[in-house]
Structure 1
Amino acid sequence: MSDFLLPDDIVTLARRVVEENAAAGRKIVLAESCTGGLVAAALTEIPGSSAVLDRSFVTYSNEAKQGELGVASDIIEAFGAVSIACVYAMARGALENSDADVAVAISGVAGPGGGSDTKPVGTVVFARLEKGQEEPEAEDRLFENTGRSGVRRQATLCALELLLP
């Protein structure tokens, strides 16, 4: 475990993200919702992360997604905050409001409540957008419901993997 009590697998992957992005000369930006800053915390645990992490937006509320990242209210109303459309807009807003080369956005249902038939607890949606790319890459995952911490841990690992060059 690291000094900050992050699991070794997260710290190991974060180290790889920092090293590989530094070697590629790439800056990254994050737009986190359900992970609440865990991806940024993992990256900043690594010495030298300031060469890679430009900034991180923790936009937990819908109002924050709209105000900080420019997510249109009609996207949230039509599709919800846990949707491909929302994380697309989050990634685009993060990239537009930073000096980064690549953005990763995350939104999900960590539980224990808040799930539905169409978006059960463990549903997490990710988007990755590189500068100059027209459309973000996106995916939704249904992680095993291992409790709130478990879902957030799995989402953090997935987001870190998306940040590898």
Structure 2
Amino acid sequence: MNTAAAILSAAQAVVPRLAKALSDRNLSLATAESCTGGLIGHLLTNQPGSSRWFLGGVVAYADSAKAGLLGVPPKTLSARGAVSEETVLAMAEGARRTLGAACAVAVSGIAGPDGGTPEKPVGTVWMAFATPEETTAQSFLFTGEREEIKAKTAAAALGNLLARLAEADE
């Protein structure tokens, strides 16, 4: 099994616990994905019964899609860029609003091998997590080839959302 496949296998193992956390609180989930291109939604829908809590996702790869489908302000995109805290926060809130979900996860990053800069190197990923309690964002710097970075991003998004839901239950 290659590295990306192993990471995705571990990520898939998180989904039943995430499903239980959402179901126990009667919460729904939406996704807003850029650099993962729908991979998070794919992992979620591999879970039997996911239609009870997963409403859908928006793959907004281009800035125009982020603005048009998720309501990310064009000024935010031009001033801060697609890979920024402000953008993923707007993406998460846009996914919640667009799909009518209680929770959302949003990701935007640079999977490579091109596109990195000294300020935002390849592997830079911003994620936002929207729950009924709060919407927060976090940055990550992943290493590896494109496929690995995408897998690490999806795994981190699922794991971090589960952790935030668990914290809210405490």
Q: Same fold (TM over 0.5)?
A: yes
- Give the whole-Å Cα distance in 1 for the aligned partners of 2:15 and 2:39: 11
Higher helix share: 2
- Extract structure 1 runs of 4+ deviating beyond 4 A: none
The amino acid of 2:45's aligned partner reads: T
Structure 1 counterpart SS, 2:99: coil
Structure 2: unaligned runs, 5 residues or longer: 166-170
- 1:139: how far off? 0.5
* 1:140 equivalent in structure 2: 139
Structure 1: unaligned runs, 5 residues or longer: none
- Give the whole-Å Cα distance in 2 for the aligned partners of 1:36 and 1:14: 18
Within 5 Å, which residues of 2 pair with 1:1-165?
Answer: 7-131=8-132, 133=134, 136-144=135-143, 146-164=144-162, 165=165
Number of residue pairs the alignment of both structures matches: 159
- 1:151: how far off? 0.4
- 1:24: how far off? 2.0
Give the % identical residues. Answer: 38
- Relative to the length of structure 1, the TM-score reads 0.91
The amino acid of 1:149's aligned partner reads: E
- Maintained 8 Å contact 2:11/2:159: no
- Give the whole-Å Cα distance in 2 for the aligned partners of 1:53 and 1:163: 13
The amino acid of 2:16's aligned partner reads: R
Structure 1 counterpart SS, 2:32: strand
Deviations 1:74-121 (A, max 9, x none): 100000000001001111111111221111110000000000000000
- Give the whole-Å Cα distance in 1 for the aligned partners of 2:16 and 2:117: 36
